[in-house]
Structure 1
Amino acid sequence: MPDCITPSRIIACFAFDDVMSLDVVGPLQVFASANGELERQGRARGYEVLIIADAAGPVPTSGGFKLYADLGWRDLELNTVDTILIAGGDGINRVRQRSDILEWLKQAEGKLARLGSVCSGALVLAEAGLLDGKMATTHWSRCDEMRQQFPAVQVIEDRLHSYDAQGLDGDPHIFTSAGVTAGIDLALALVEADQGRAIALAVARRLVMFLKRPGGQAQFSAYLTPAIGGTAQLAGLLEWIPGNLDGDLSLEALSARAAMSARTFSRVFTRDLGMTPARYVERVRIEAARALLQDDAMSVTRVARLCGFGHPETLRRAFQRHLSISPQEYADRFGRKPDVVAV
């Protein structure tokens, strides 16, 4: 059972010019809402929330409005703080180049119970070397960048966060979250670890959220980004594939169309796109299926046939493998209801 007489935990979120506002206020609202739930039960408040920045005062966000920082990060007494979260946003690359901030984070890591990030804030932790050897995620659009620039980090694309209080499938000390609203999922996990499941569930209900969202961020990403690498040999083929998903897209058929031997084609394709031809084809088919499933007039069976999966069960297995959700669940969540025309 959580200790009800433990003093409030100080949770500080680091903001900067052009920060994503929701990366800051989303997680902090979860902790503030937890205070409300605790008080409704006659228990002491569990958290004190702070926004920190270069200095106390207004912080311009990427949304065109300002947040107000309670104090400068240099003035934060680290030995009194439980958790620091590094937000993400358009200004994150400037923060990554700040040696003073990186050094501060290295020092803070040893004094804090928890150090985490929201969205692209993970790149700051990676830049400081604090994610080496650890599982980490970030916004889906920057996972490849993290993987390439920080090979010592174990990048996990389809996880909403890498926090695990038990340290069995994640880290209880240094952790990251995926894009934007995943910071709220992370904060709920922290509240559950601190205050128990009942409080975390009450907060989730209050905020009209899942306590644990099904699936991962791949459900929301532009899953396929077919950029060409160091050669234009494959450009024509990559343009042709999406229009022929229900045809023969085997290695032999694709290599013949590219006028290469199967062995050479496989080597060139993997070198330029970072994945095998079979995996690429499956990802294109999944992306097409995702688009079609957003139309409520399309059945799962028809989508499976049009996208080259053949049988709905094959489509279901592919969706579970890549998106951790079934095609029907995806259609229910993201489908566009037909317009109702008044007569």
Structure 2
Amino acid sequence: MHSVAILALEDVVPFDLAAPLQVFDWARLPDGRRPYRVRVCAESPEVRGDGLALRVDRGLEALEDADTVIVPGCAPGSGPTSEPVLAALRRAAGAGTRIASVCVGAFVLAEAGLLDGLRATTHWVAADQLAQRYPDVTVEPGVLYVDNGQILTSAGAAAALDMCLHMIRRDLGSAVAADAARMCVMPLEREGGQAQFIVHEQPPVPRGSTLEPILEWIEDNLAGEITLGAMAARSGMSERTFSRRFREQTGTTPLQWLLRARVRRAQYLLENSDRPIERIAQQAGFGSPTAFRERFRRVVGTTPQSYRSAFHGKARVLAAHS
């Protein structure tokens, strides 16, 4: 079981604390088991925030056996972070622990020196201040979250949900992350702002839409050749009328929808099978491996092989050792 320690500091922002607590707590393996044990810890037994007093049963020693440490933001004017907290974060980072921040929690990571030489984000209101105070940090104010591998930062409480789902997907694959997203009543992925292992969810189709049959047909026939003309003919429309109605109801074009459907199929096969790239290219409807690699990289931001290395079999491996 993966241990997640949420480090609550004085004047903690309640929403920043609740976001990661909710997402990781909702995650479940295919057999129903919890893959994460989430604990809130603090330097002192009681931490105050905006409108709350939080009592915790674990101190900074919780960071020593955690696999992931998350630092929520604090209210403005909370003052410098204590040296024991900074030292505990540095020790955790030195031990290889994954460390993430929510909103202005990035200031704490920067204060500990963990963001030096890295890209990072925070709430846009505080981005200029973070850049001025810590010139060794490359601040990107226009993104939802930044993943540097071991160190992650997010822009705010809502963006922290995206970041946590991204971490779950890295750990366990898209199926577990998608289930956690559904339980949190949110989409699996939003654009993080950098090259990520992401395919956006298809735009929603209105209930009862006349497009539902053709979309089901597309999903059932991804391995074959699907042209705009074939889609239009199956819908009983001209290509022009079909394209116009498709965009009106989905916000995208038929061929863009088809590309993302094929990439999602390829992602699933890369995560859950040992089939060679050439076969996956055919089964997802890309034709040649060269076309598959080029289009997959354009949509997802990485190569099929790199994606497989990151996500293949993660849920099965964790389940076997839980």
State the SS of the aligned residue for 2:175.
Answer: helix
Percent identical pairs in the alignment equals 39
Gaps of 5+ in 2: 194-322
Task: Tell me by how many angstroms 1:65 deviates.
Answer: 1.9
**Residue of structure 2 in register with 1:234 after alignment:** none
Q: Matched residues in 2 for 1:153 and 1:70: separation? A: 34
Q: Which has the higher contact order (CA 8 A, sep 6+)?
A: 2
**Residue of structure 1 in register with 2:43 after alignment:** 54
**Residue of structure 1 in register with 2:12 after alignment:** 19
Q: Matched residues in 1 for 2:25 and 2:192: separation? A: 26
Task: Tell me by how many angstroms 1:91 deviates.
Answer: 5.8
State the SS of the aligned residue for 1:19.
Answer: coil
**Residue of structure 2 in register with 1:45 after alignment:** 34
Q: Matched residues in 2 for 1:183 and 1:141: separation? A: 16
Task: Tell me by how many angstroms 1:176 deviates.
Answer: 0.7
When Rg is computed on C-alpha atoms for both structures, the one with the higher figure is 1
Q: Is contact 1:83–1:112 with CA below 8 Å preserved after alignment? A: no
Amino acid at match of 1:32: D
Task: Tell me by how many angstroms 1:205 deviates.
Answer: 1.5
**Residue of structure 2 in register with 1:138 after alignment:** 122
Amino acid at match of 2:37: E
Q: How does 1:1-343 map to 2 (within 5 A)?
A: 8-34=1-27, 37-38=28-29, 41-56=30-45, 58-62=46-50, 64-73=51-60, 75-76=61-62, 78=64, 80-90=65-75, 93-94=78-79, 96-163=80-147, 171-214=148-191
Q: Is contact 1:118–1:178 with CA below 8 Å preserved after alignment? A: yes
Q: Matched residues in 1 for 2:84 and 2:47: separation? A: 19
Q: Matched residues in 2 for 1:212 and 1:162: separation? A: 14
**Residue of structure 2 in register with 1:318 after alignment:** none
**Residue of structure 1 in register with 2:271 after alignment:** none
Q: Is contact 1:117–1:176 with CA below 8 Å preserved after alignment? A: yes
State the SS of the aligned residue for 1:131.
Answer: coil
Going from structure 1 to structure 2, the CA distance change for 1:97 and 1:113 (only over 3 Å counts) comes to closer
Task: Tell me by how many angstroms 1:113 deviates.
Answer: 2.9
User: Hey, which bits of structure 1, 4+ residues long, moved more than 4 A?
Assistant: none
Q: Matched residues in 2 for 1:201 and 1:92: separation? A: 37
Q: Matched residues in 1 for 2:141 and 2:63: separation? A: 34
Amino acid at match of 1:71: R
Q: Is contact 1:92–1:121 with CA below 8 Å preserved after alignment? A: no
Q: Matched residues in 1 for 2:89 and 2:188: separation? A: 30
Give the TM-score normalised by structure 2. 0.57
Task: Tell me by how many angstroms 1:214 deviates.
Answer: 4.5
Q: Matched residues in 1 for 2:77 and 2:85: separation? A: 12
Give the TM-score normalised by structure 1. 0.53
Amino acid at match of 2:12: V
Task: Tell me by how many angstroms 1:129 deviates.
Answer: 1.2
